[in-house]
Structure 1
């Protein structure tokens, strides 16, 4: 991570950022990020500095805490899965180890940005109240829950992006996380399709096909920007729906996540 490049990019977006990031000078960073500070701690240190300028509005705090709850969920899920012997095949272990690292980093950033306003981590039931009882003993069940969580995360971040328009640096970060979650969803869907032999499960979503159904509600939408794209340039309805990910509202996301709380 080039911490100074990040600061420079924020300055490009928000010309007043450096004025509000009153301690964000190179000297300050060097005093905070000394040779004895492990590289893994850098995102947390940076987040604590960003907190001085951002996440001050009630709206931003609410959105970030909503995101943090989802990241807690995914972080704990992958920690348990990666720590369970004989669950994940050796060939796929490196993938889920990396996904787990990403989720831990997301939690660290959001907690750092929120500071004392961060919500506490809930207790999770990854069996989904019994619906996925074999989640940590059967690989296909684990993949099913994983792809549902990742696709929910993608749609959740997209659904909240508009609420961060007044906080451009946070919006940029949220969209970066959205991109990471989308890559997670893509690879997990590919692994699930291969593991189950179901050719209809691809790295992308066609229509509203997928389970649990609530995760994919509305994905068959063909109207974008107020324009009905049905039949556009001779494209099929399936192809049109594959080109867009639809947002989920906070209420829809909490209804899905509630299964694991």
Structure 2
């Protein structure tokens, strides 16, 4: 991805575009070398989050609020995988090994977020549990693997929706180094969730990314104010700007669209899976 080329194209389409980023320059200051800044700018999470922040209003949530939001999702995922592991439904061999490893990751995410929130002087939210009734109603290996896919895909989009808010300059009272550390934590968890999602999709015989040929057309979890079929980023239709290189399907598949907290907690997604 040529980040700076894309920025040039967006600036040409929107005269106010560069001005929208003026208050976001602090993000780049957290990463010391040119190589680090270039690597950060090349990540879809950073790029999408930056676009969203540039065109969004000011968010009043504190870093602790945002981390507790993430912790709620991690609690839900950790409890789901604990129930899945105890169900006796997972085939021996690679599935057991893979899902066991994912469970370990989710438990680790919970521990990391609890520790980070506590270190910031905050209070971790109370743990939530995965709905037992939903679990029992889908008590086959295939059905539960499908739920795992939705959980992981939702987690990826949830982190994309809020990670950039952890870096907002001095207004949250945290030092630049602390903000950089928080952003690093969020990006690390986000990358692991994305790998979980890709591998579970592979286990289900699908593409490793969300696409129109999977569940997008029929599953409400893949809708939202910005659905996963979207080809427009920062008010620019990339199928027009990049038509010579990428199809609409390619463009849609390249971005996991961010979800707002209300969308994540909607009953079609995480809200419908909480006990």
Same fold (TM over 0.5): yes
Q: 2:257 aligns with which of 228, 237, 246?
A: 246
Q: Does 1:259 align with 2:268?
A: no
Structure-2 residue corresponding to 1:220: 229
Structure-2 residue corresponding to 1:65: 68
CA deviation vs aligned residue, 1:64-95 (integer Å, no higher than 9, x gap)? 11100000001111111112224344331110
Q: Does 1:84 align with 2:87?
A: yes
Q: Secondary structure at the match of 1:233?
A: coil
Structure 1 residue runs without a partner (length 5+): 1-11, 16-56, 194-200
Q: What's the TM-score, normalizing by structure 1?
A: 0.69
Deviation at 1:242, TM superposition (A): 1.0
Q: Does 1:237 align with 2:248?
A: yes
Q: What's the TM-score, normalizing by structure 2?
A: 0.66
CA deviation vs aligned residue, 1:7-66 (integer Å, no higher than 9, x gap)? xxxxx9489xxxxxxxxxxxxxxxxxxxxxxxxxxxxxxxxxxxxxxxxx9511111111
With a CA cutoff of 8 Å and minimum separation of 6, indicate the structure with the bigger relative contact order.
2
How far apart, CA to CA, are the structure 2 residues paired with 1:190 and 1:104? 22
Q: Secondary structure at the match of 2:80?
A: helix
Cα contact 2:79–2:129 (8 A) shared by 1 = no
Change beyond 3 A, Cα 1:74–1:123: closer
Cα contact 2:90–2:96 (8 A) shared by 1 = no
Cα contact 1:190–1:202 (8 A) shared by 2 = yes
Q: Secondary structure at the match of 1:93?
A: helix
Structure-2 residue corresponding to 1:173: 185
Cα contact 1:77–1:126 (8 A) shared by 2 = no
Q: Secondary structure at the match of 2:71?
A: helix
Change beyond 3 A, Cα 1:126–1:252: farther
Structure-2 residue corresponding to 1:160: 162
Report matched runs for 1:41-56 at 5 Å.
none
Report matched runs for 1:182-221 at 5 Å.
182-193=194-205, 201-207=206-212, 209-210=214-215, 213-217=219-223, 218-221=227-230
CA deviation vs aligned residue, 1:200-243 (integer Å, no higher than 9, x gap)? x2111114842672321111111123321125215221111111
How far apart, CA to CA, are the structure 1 residues paired with 2:264 and 2:141? 25
Q: Secondary structure at the match of 1:202?
A: coil
Structure 2 residue runs without a partner (length 5+): 1-28, 33-59, 169-178
Cα contact 1:81–1:88 (8 A) shared by 2 = no
